[in-house]
Amino acid sequence: MVALARTPSSLSVEDARRLARQLFDLDVSTVSELPSERDRNFRLETPRGAFVLKLAGPTESDGVLDLQNRALEWIAERAAELPVPRLVARSPDGRTRLLSYLPGTILAEARPRSPALLARVGGLLGRLDVALAGFRHSAAVGRDLMWDPARAPEIIERHRDAIADLARRELVARFEALYKSEVAPLLPGLPRSVIHNDANDYNVLVGPPAERPEDRPVTGLLDFGDMVETWTVCELAVALAYGIFGQPEALVAAERVVAGYHSQRPLSEAELDAVWILAAMRLCTSVCLSAHRRTAEPENPYLLVSEAPAWDALGRMAEIHPRFARAALRNACGFPPCAQTPALEAWLRKHHGEFAPVVTADLGRAVVFDLSVASPEFRTPAETLDTATMTPRLFSKMREAGTDVGIGRYDEARLIYGGDAFAAATSAMGAEHPERRTVHIALDIFMDPGAPVHAPLAGRVHAVHDNAARYDYGPTVILEHAPEGAPRFYTLYGHLAPDCLESLEPGQDIARGQRVGAIGAPPGNGDWPPHVHFQIVTDMLDGGGEFHGVGSASEREVWRAFSPDPTPLLGVGESRPDFRATATMDRPARLFDARRRLLGANLSLAYRTPLEIVRGAGTHLFDQTGRAFLDMVNNVAHVGHAHPRVVAAGARQMTVLNTNTRYLHPSILRYAERLAAMLPDPLSVCFFVCSGSEANELALRMARAHTGKRGVIVLAGAYHGNTQGLIEVSPYKFDGRGGSGRPEHGRTRVVPMPDDYRGLYRRDDPRRAAKFAAHVAEAARDGDVAAFLCESLLSCGGQIELPPGYLATAYRHAREAGAVCIADEVQVGFGRVGSHFWGFQTQGEEVVPDIVTLGKPIGNGHPLGAVVTTPAIAASFANGMEYFNTFGGNPVSCEIGLAVLDVIRDEGLQDRALAVGGRLRSGLQSLVERHEPAGDARGLGLFLGLELVESKASRTPSAARAAYVVERMKDHGILLSTDGPDHNVVKMKPPLSFSDDDAARVVEALDRVLSEDFVRTA
């Protein structure tokens, strides 16, 4: 690899051009040099297409050149479709060659390196190895090559001590030891062939970025200079080693590469068992060679930088137990993750009637608790951690059901673990969407403290300890079992009373039915409601008597193989299938099908792969596996999802009374008084409805009743509601997909959207507000206008702040024509804009609408809406026809509305919107400065938008980029959506409980996504 000095370095591009003419009769228009370690490579543009002129370095033997050439010819004959260079021609001595040019970007520079792309890399290598099977060449055997996999142990041993850092040296030594014990014995049985042996991320080419990163093709594999005959699986090991580079989730990346390879060249179990450590050995070889080179060139900073990703990948591989990695890779290829588990499961099923009872209770009558993400047993995720609350709740359920035993389910995703459920984001540095472990891979048996716990079968004490600190288990016993006819396995009993710590010794024999301990009491049991956590473990993974009781949802099948369902050991067998929560975990695909059957097709779903969302709390939404998503779109959950005070207010009133407004009741009056007090005079008369659409419908009826006119002026791009009447005044709909244009009755008048970024008049025009407003005067000229209906900041229009002074002038024009002014505050009211409680107030004190419509945030998710108007308009509306609304203004809605106002006040949410929103907006502004397609950042408080364009100069909307950003941000665990008539504005309007940390996370993730190839080059 270091023979640079001996390459034909004196050759210039002009020499290359001349050579191409002399040797290959090529008329070259342009020549450029391509990077290479041993050879000199030139890209030639010719009328016959692009080629690579490859001049072999002097260290390359004729034999090895012949090996490469024959291999390329062999592949061309047998697998012409493989994207590898074709040998077009060669000089008589074979050392100067003309190869076909493969277009593409090197994988090292591809952003993102999606799991699907890594699978394609694996797939290409699998196809290559299938094609190369049967290829033989004498130069491929016994090559003097540092990268020969067979030489890895020798190279590592020779250079290991050049690694200065002792911990790093130790890391390498660990993999060396694993190689000796786990891989070396397998090697003699592994298939061998000639392999490419260098699929590093500089030798793999990928195609142009795709809107779906998973669609990006792999277009080439370069550099056949390291070919060697060896164990075929080493091909995959090299790709796996480099596939992990830059991937925080090393195992996920490895699984994809391996699965892709396996789909083309099926791997044997022995190959799969070896590949992880072979990959680590490749990285160890690399870091040892770097360390060795560094001793020769200590001042060369490049060497340090270039070895960093290999150390990083090795470090992350070392965090994963190699047998867990092996299980995950087996699972990715469709093998049972743990080879022994199916036999154990069969044995357990067969013998399920023969075990001694673990607890002395009738498990057939046990209450099964729902402790899943969606469980109604707890109000907030934090509450599940509160033993003092949960204990009486669970135990009173057991008593009500007339039983002394309750079950917490196996294979259930829970939010209980790992402390604060909302801090999901921070665990794995750099991971797109860090995952907490949520899936319970044991059964919980809830009983009163002191209830004895017995061994279901004979065994030996493997461990007994109090590991409350690390795993929350409290006093724990682990037994090892080796029954006849079954693979060895372990049973784990957690949260016991402390007496087991004294009474049991590791190594002690335990008889079938012998007492191993008793159910412990909090706090000594790890501080949980009294229960025994009962788990099977097939492989303790050298954990020194500790094992996770909860696995990650993404590796759920693997965790379940390490800890299969222990129900058969309880003797209840299949009579209690409800002890497993498996069905909930596998639900999204079934929900999707049912939705297509049962609901209208135009009820749209967000995201290409829709999410099942089963819980909300604060600024987060949770899917059924417990994955947390930061919610940036649900402005309806204004004070935070499932805010306990709002929930309690609704529940309290629902238990007492919910009826219509035909009786006197104080709630509606208290609420009307509170709302009116928050609005400027003369807005003082309230009407309650159930949605923003209803509010706008009612407002238009009032305007028409008051003015006796019919026309309505609205802004282009506006949306005001889903009724027939409102669709007719919503250009967003009638001019959008499926719309049939502006209604012909002439009542709807559309004026230009006052978008001063991309609209008719721009920010550099100080008179833009007046110019935009003049269109309102124009639209009202015939005098038949009942209302000017306008949002105070434009939402569907694309998160647009109105230019200063716009509303004052537009309102004046509208009123001069006899119209009333309706402020649609459905999206932007209730403190979201930070500086003021209502959006229209940001346009100046003199701006007072005649009617204000309210919705969405008003009930924090409860269907509530309101219209507030002046006594004069209310009087015109009261023309004798009764106004009745079955649900509007009912006591439950009003109590919820009051609670929302209380929370906004008590939690200082308007001030928070101002402060946090201000910082988020500065963060977005910094993105605009750094990323060409980020055209504009705008908005007030926590009502913000980022407009994506082709380029800053053109301002041409880029819907594709916006859609891409939204999809990719979901991959980062952040929910956003697009808006604007061109669908190119990423909108942000999170619950107001949004924090500075949330904002920082959003900006950081956006920064990464905006740097990805599709955004940069689409």
- For 347, counting Cβ atoms within 10 Å of its Cβ (0-12 exposed, 13-18 middle, 19+ buried), the class is middle
Structure tokens, 551: 């696995």
Which strand (E) or helix (H) includes residue 390? Answer: helix 387-400
Q: Which is nearer to ligand PLP, 933 or 991 (CB)?
A: 991
Among 207, 692, 839, 957, binds ligand PLP (CB under 6 A): 692
Residue 791 binds ligand PLP, judged by CB under 6 A: yes
Residues 131 and 79: beta-carbon distance below 8 Å: yes
Q: Which is nearer to ligand PLP, 352 or 720 (CB)?
A: 720
Q: Quick one: which segment of 390-398, 500-508, 715-723, 960-968 binds ligand PLP (CB under 6 A)?
A: 715-723
> Cα–Cα distance between 444 and 495 in angstroms, integer?
10
Radius of gyration of the chain (CA): 34
We find the least distance from the C-beta atom of residue 839 to ligand PLP, in angstroms, to be 10
Edge-to-edge strand order for the sheet containing 204-206? Answer: 105-106, 204-206, 218-221
Contacts of 354 (CB under 8 A, 6+ apart): none
We find the least distance from the C-beta atom of residue 605 to ligand PLP, in angstroms, to be 17
Among 696, 799, 977, 978, binds ligand PLP (CB under 6 A): 696
State which of positions 466-485 bind ligand PLP (CB under 6 A): none
Q: Which is nearer to ligand PLP, 119 or 826 (CB)?
A: 826
Q: Which is nearer to ligand PLP, 104 or 717 (CB)?
A: 717
Q: Which is nearer to ligand PLP, 391 or 827 (CB)?
A: 827
SS (H, E, C) 799-844: CEECCCCHHHHHHHHHHHCCCEEEEECCCCCCCCCCCCCCHHHHHC
- Single-letter amino acid code for the residue at 46: T
Q: Which is nearer to ligand PLP, 218 or 854 (CB)?
A: 854
> Cα–Cα distance between 425 and 973 in angstroms, integer?
8
Q: Which is nearer to ligand PLP, 713 or 817 (CB)?
A: 713
Query: Nearest to residue 541, comparing CAs of 328, 342, 236?
Result: 328
For Cα atoms 521, 522, 527, give the angle at the middle one, nearest 5 degrees: 135
| Residues pairing with 510 in the sheet | 459
Residue 809 binds ligand PLP, judged by CB under 6 A: no
Residues 703 and 904: beta-carbon distance below 8 Å: no
Q: Which is nearer to ligand PLP, 112 or 839 (CB)?
A: 839
Query: Nearest to residue 369, comparing CAs of 396, 334, 346, 389?
Result: 396
Q: Which is nearer to ligand PLP, 367 or 828 (CB)?
A: 828
We find the least distance from the C-beta atom of residue 307 to ligand PLP, in angstroms, to be 54
Residue 691 binds ligand PLP, judged by CB under 6 A: yes
Residue 857 binds ligand PLP, judged by CB under 6 A: no
Q: Which is nearer to ligand PLP, 19 or 794 (CB)?
A: 794
Residue 827 binds ligand PLP, judged by CB under 6 A: yes
How far lies 886's CA from each of 647, 688, 1011, in Å? Answer: 22, 10, 52
Q: Which is nearer to ligand PLP, 242 or 732 (CB)?
A: 732
Give the CB-nearest residue to ligand PLP: 692
Query: Nearest to residue 992, comparing CAs of 857, 899, 802?
Result: 857
Looking at 413-480, list the stretches that DSSP marks H as alpha helix, in order from N- to C-terminal side: 468-471
We find the least distance from the C-beta atom of residue 548 to ligand PLP, in angstroms, to be 44
Structure tokens, 683: 């807005």
Residue 885 binds ligand PLP, judged by CB under 6 A: no
We find the least distance from the C-beta atom of residue 865 to ligand PLP, in angstroms, to be 6
Q: Quick one: which segment of 578-586, 603-611, 822-830, 985-993 binds ligand PLP (CB under 6 A)?
A: 822-830
- Cβ count within 10 A of residue 452: 15
We find the least distance from the C-beta atom of residue 100 to ligand PLP, in angstroms, to be 55
Contacts of 752 (CB under 8 A, 6+ apart): 715, 716, 759, 760, 772, 775
Q: Which is nearer to ligand PLP, 255 or 791 (CB)?
A: 791
Q: Quick one: which segment of 240-248, 377-385, 742-750, 824-832 binds ligand PLP (CB under 6 A)?
A: 824-832
We find the least distance from the C-beta atom of residue 759 to ligand PLP, in angstroms, to be 19
How far lies 107's CA from each of 199, 221, 222, 579, in Å? Answer: 10, 10, 11, 46
Residue 722 binds ligand PLP, judged by CB under 6 A: yes
| Residues pairing with 550 in the sheet | 440
| Residues pairing with 90 in the sheet | 97
Among 826, 847, 904, 1010, binds ligand PLP (CB under 6 A): 826
Q: Quick one: which segment of 85-93, 261-269, 561-569, 714-722 binds ligand PLP (CB under 6 A)?
A: 714-722
Residue 855 binds ligand PLP, judged by CB under 6 A: yes
Residue 609 phi/psi, 5° resolution? -110, 105
Q: Which is nearer to ligand PLP, 518 or 690 (CB)?
A: 690
Q: Which is nearer to ligand PLP, 585 or 822 (CB)?
A: 822
Nearest-10 crossing angle of helices 269-296, 152-159 = 30
Residue 459 binds ligand PLP, judged by CB under 6 A: no
Contacts of 586 (CB under 8 A, 6+ apart): none
Residues 441 and 559: beta-carbon distance below 8 Å: yes
We find the least distance from the C-beta atom of residue 794 to ligand PLP, in angstroms, to be 8
We find the least distance from the C-beta atom of residue 725 to ligand PLP, in angstroms, to be 12
Residue 712 binds ligand PLP, judged by CB under 6 A: no
> Cα–Cα distance between 479 and 567 in angstroms, integer?
17
Residue 977 binds ligand PLP, judged by CB under 6 A: no
The DSSP letter of residue 108 is G
> Cα–Cα distance between 214 and 210 in angstroms, integer?
8
Residue 41 binds ligand PLP, judged by CB under 6 A: no
Q: Which is nearer to ligand PLP, 227 or 689 (CB)?
A: 689
Residue 720 binds ligand PLP, judged by CB under 6 A: yes
Structure tokens, 50: 């692009």
Q: Which is nearer to ligand PLP, 20 or 942 (CB)?
A: 942
We find the least distance from the C-beta atom of residue 457 to ligand PLP, in angstroms, to be 60
Q: Which is nearer to ligand PLP, 732 or 994 (CB)?
A: 732
Contacts of 643 (CB under 8 A, 6+ apart): 637, 860, 899, 903
Number of residues that bind ligand PLP (CB under 6 A): 16
Residue 795 binds ligand PLP, judged by CB under 6 A: yes
Among 693, 707, 799, 843, binds ligand PLP (CB under 6 A): 693
> Cα–Cα distance between 594 and 611 in angstroms, integer?
14
Residue 824 binds ligand PLP, judged by CB under 6 A: yes
Residue 719 binds ligand PLP, judged by CB under 6 A: yes
Q: Quick one: which segment of 121-129, 253-261, 384-392, 690-698 binds ligand PLP (CB under 6 A)?
A: 690-698
Q: Quick one: which segment of 217-225, 468-476, 689-697, 770-778 binds ligand PLP (CB under 6 A)?
A: 689-697
| Residues pairing with 948 in the sheet | 934
We find the least distance from the C-beta atom of residue 796 to ligand PLP, in angstroms, to be 6
Residue 1015 phi/psi, 5° resolution? -70, -40
Structure tokens, 480: 């090892």
Q: 3-state DSSP call for residue 88?
A: strand
State which of positions 319-358 bind ligand PLP (CB under 6 A): none
Query: Nearest to residue 890, comparing CAs of 869, 871, 867, 862?
Result: 862
Q: Which is nearer to ligand PLP, 82 or 606 (CB)?
A: 606
Residue 967 binds ligand PLP, judged by CB under 6 A: no
Edge-to-edge strand order for the sheet containing 439-440? Answer: 412-413, 439-440, 550-551
We find the least distance from the C-beta atom of residue 382 to ligand PLP, in angstroms, to be 30
Where along the sequence are the contacts to ligand PLP (CB under 6 A)?
691-693, 696, 719-722, 791, 795-796, 824, 826-827, 855-856
